[in-house]
Amino acid sequence: MTFADSCSRPEGSSKGAAAPEGTRSYLIGGNWKSNGTVASVEKLIADFNAAGPIPANAEVVVGAPFIHIPLCLMSLRKDIQIAAQNCNLTGTGAYTGEVCASQLKDMGVTWVILGHSERREGFGMAGEDSELVAKKTKLALAEGLKVMLCIGEKKEEREAGTTMDVCASHLKPAAAILSEEDWANVSIAYEPVWAIGTGLTATPQMAQDTHASIRQWMSENVSPEVAAAVRIQYGGSMKGANAAGLMGQTDIDGGLIGGASLTKGYFDVINGVPPAEKSFSDSCSRPEGSSKGAAAPEGTRSYLIGGNWKSNGTVASVEKLIADFNAAGPIPANAEVVVGAPFIHIPLCLMSLRKDIQIAAQNCNLTGTGAYTGEVCASQLKDMGVTWVILGHSERREGFGMAGEDSELVAKKTKLALAEGLKVMLCIGEKKEEREAGTTMDVCASHLKPAAAILSEEDWANVSIAYEPVWAIGTGLTATPQMAQDTHASIREWMSDNVSPAVAAAVRIQYGGSMKGANAAGLMGQTDIDGGLIGGASLTKGYFDVINGVPSA
């Protein structure tokens, strides 16, 4: 138990909506520097505790001097985290005057500010260089702390047009030694040194331009995924009067606040956080649903049951099906359940279908919003509250009498959908004549290769492979459980050989060949069958017979 755990701190309160999944929450960090007395800190804590709710889409931190950290941990509201303003490069030991990351973690501190411009300058002593800051960052992360990593240029550097050269020089050593996983616990605090305590400040557009350049640098030098996820705070004299304008910019994800964090005015900054954008789904009152049994053990694959309603249904039939599903009883805790409705019926599902059944679209376009008549794009689906999309279904590959979709197109759509925060059921499978010719795996491999070429290993965490033997869809024919298992095992082996053993072991492979209540348990009892993509049976109460065929964890 940490020191903080033994203290009775008030809970605090929140307002508004949390940041939607897959978006960046705001981070408001206060840096008290070397300011305060016991009396002034106690007064500030009392003011903060009485200051009202904190936006639910923001994380709030105060960085107190080491000597005042225990006062904060004893009585500051729990929804304000505590940061230190530095830590040493080593651990415990003979380092007089230093405090190490493990001591901070043991105390209950959750964040540390590293690389601040004042420490880079050195207070008349040798300052800290970027290599030292990077090493401290790596050490702090290893001890379980989160890091606000400070970067930024001086006035003469901005005037010389070298802002990004300076920022890049501050980031490069960290980029060289931090893993992509490390960056999940790092925020970049961009502090234009010329705007700290000088009365000068960047306009919101000036700040946005630099933040966008930093994010671009991270994309090119770390990864696009890290760049999209990392929060970039603005540290140039943000206060109540300018907070909303600054944080309204696309790439400004909060602030590192100096003087204003030493007054009640800190909450004027906090209240400048823009409200979270709600999806259509967030605004609806859907019943909760219920579960039964045990969840899938850690490190094992849960089952994925996806229903594909295709181009079926009316308002009346969909409302009846929703009512049936809502009344159908608990869903196994080791299964994820989804229904893929026609675009026109997705809002009906998002308004009233139980929350433990997710909604999928059956397609998305290859571009974004724009002049694409009749198309729906991934960002629109995400904005609506859709979580999955079915791509590459055999019917779309055939084309309904038009040119069908090839595997390169399906792979590109998959990459785009993932980038927008959707999960993908990627359909593959052979026709009857291809099975009879013994080319099942040749066909499946041809469907998978373009995706394997452009998806990262991280991407595959949000992809399920839906193997649909086309000859068994709507024909009355079906594979035996062993036939299906043999193909699934071959697909997993192909993934191991062509993507990685780790991805192959983790990826779920659904069976899409006329699974129904009568054969669901037998099929899903096979080692490599991790659920189903269900057609006709998902349009009836019988969908729950399939769902209840999921083996117990």
Closest CA to 534 of 510, 508, 512, 550: 512
Name 233's Cβ contacts closer than 8 Å, sequence gap at least 6: 27, 28, 29, 148, 187, 188, 189, 190, 252, 253, 254, 255, 256
The encoded tokens of residue 483 equal 């036939």
Name 386's Cβ contacts closer than 8 Å, sequence gap at least 6: 281, 346, 350, 359, 360, 361, 422
Residue 59 amino acid letter = E
Distance (Å) of CA 62 to CA 5, 51, 268, 387 = 18, 15, 15, 35
The encoded tokens of residue 6 equal 């033994």
Judging by beta carbons within 10 Å of its beta carbon (0-12, 13-18, 19+), is residue 299 exposed, middle or buried?
exposed
How many angstroms separate the CA atoms of 187 and 191, rounded? 12
Query: In 69-228, where do the E strands start and end?
Result: 80-84, 111-114, 146-151, 186-190
The alpha helices in 458-506, defined as continuous H runs, are 481-498, 501-506
Name 236's Cβ contacts closer than 8 Å, sequence gap at least 6: 152, 190, 191, 192, 194, 195, 196, 200, 201, 202, 207
If residue 358 lies in a helix (H) or strand (E), which one and from where to where?
strand 357-361
How many angstroms separate the CA atoms of 86 and 100, rounded? 9
The encoded tokens of residue 48 equal 């903060």
The alpha helices in 263-328, defined as continuous H runs, are 266-270, 315-326
Strands 331-332 and 291-292: parallel
Q: Give, to the nearest 10 degrees, the angle between helix 130-142 and helix 163-177.
A: 40
- Chain centroid to Cα 390, Å, comes to 20
Catalytic residues: 116, 191
Name 179's Cβ contacts closer than 8 Å, sequence gap at least 6: none
The alpha helices in 279-377, defined as continuous H runs, are 315-326, 346-352
Q: Are 65 and 225 in contact (CB under 8 A)?
A: no
Q: CB-side exposure of 397: number of CA atoms within 13 Å? A: 21
